[in-house]
Amino acid sequence: MTALLEVHIDRKAYAHGPVLERLALELARGEVVVLVGASGCGKSTLLRIVSGLDADYEGRVRLDGQARHGIRPDIGMVFQEPRLLPWLSVADNIAFGHGPATGANAARVRQLLEQIGLAGHASALPKQLSGGQAQRVAIARALFAQPPLLLLDEPFSAVDAFTRMKLQDLLLDVAARNRTALLLVTHDIDEAVYLGDRVLVLDRDPGRLRRAYRVTVPRPRDRRDARLAQVKSEVLTELYDSHAL
């Protein structure tokens, strides 16, 4: 079976020098892969390349064995901030890019609203939502077209710790229901270990893969699980060794 996503980046540079070099990465269907590493190691750049937002790099990205050129709707993206369109209702935001949330879109919007627990907020405006609610809507919007892959760039870094834990569980839940693979960037090692099937540690200057950890703890996981703590300490050791911390 071919991998869902294959990324080979030979080199990606900005004006001040290379950001990513000789980085290879594969994702299986439904897999959850988490990238951690110091600030500036190119994690976000990697997501922008995979999403197609950044086309200025040497290398290739294949989805389902097909080379990708530019942006295609079969990859969803969730940013650090919710980035909801403030003039659209919650329902219209979820259907954004596919027309209004009526007619053929209505059923899918209703389904997603239920999955993110905001069924009563369909006609609310983004300004009426809390940060956590807005990020849930952003996740639903990214999943609207049922993409096989969802990219998330530090999606929960702007919410408080309790909300973050709830959002992590919600993300795993909706990703499983929609059979979506996740490629997630985070600075939060607890989050990485709790969410990931694999945790990849990136090096800096230039960014390349330093080490990969497989988290074999079965789901649903318990945050207090000693095995998760074990993986966390290994990842932390690796980050100390890479002088990221």
Partner 1 sequence: MTDLILAHGFDRHAPAERSAAPARDRPPAPHPGRGPAWLGLVIPLLALAGLELAVRAGAVPAHLLPPPSEVAGALHALGAAELWRHVGASVARVAIGFGLGAVLAVLVGAWVGLSPRAAALLDPSIQGLRAIPSLAWVPLLLLWMGIDEAPKITLIAIGAFFPVYLNLTAAIVHVDRRLVEVGRVHGLRGWGLVRHVFLPAALPELFTGLRGGLGLAWMFLVAAELIAATRGLGYLLSDGRETGRADIMLGAIALLGLLGKISDSALALIERRALHWHDGFGSTRA
Using alpha carbons, select from 228, 201, 230, 222 the residue that is nearest to residue 213. Answer: 201
The verdict on 105 binding partner 1 (CB under 8 A) reads no
Which residues from 129-148 bind partner 1, rule CB under 8 A? Answer: 129-133
The verdict on 120 binding partner 1 (CB under 8 A) reads no
The verdict on 149 binding partner 1 (CB under 8 A) reads no
**Which range, of 21-29, 38-46, 71-79, 234-242, touches partner 1 by CB under 8 A?**
71-79
Strand partners, 78: 152
- Residues 6+ away with beta carbon under 8 Å from 50: 5, 7, 61, 75, 151, 183
Q: How far apart are CA 149 and CA 79, in angstroms?
A: 14
Q: Residue 106 or 124: which CB sits closer to partner 1?
A: 124
Least gap, CB of 140 to partner 1 (angstroms): 13
**Among the listed residues 16, 127, 214, 243, the single contact to partner 1 using CB under 8 A:** 127
Residues in the chain: 245
Given the rule CB under 8 A, which residues bind partner 1? 51-53, 71-73, 76-77, 79, 81, 83, 85-88, 96-98, 125-133, 158-160, 163
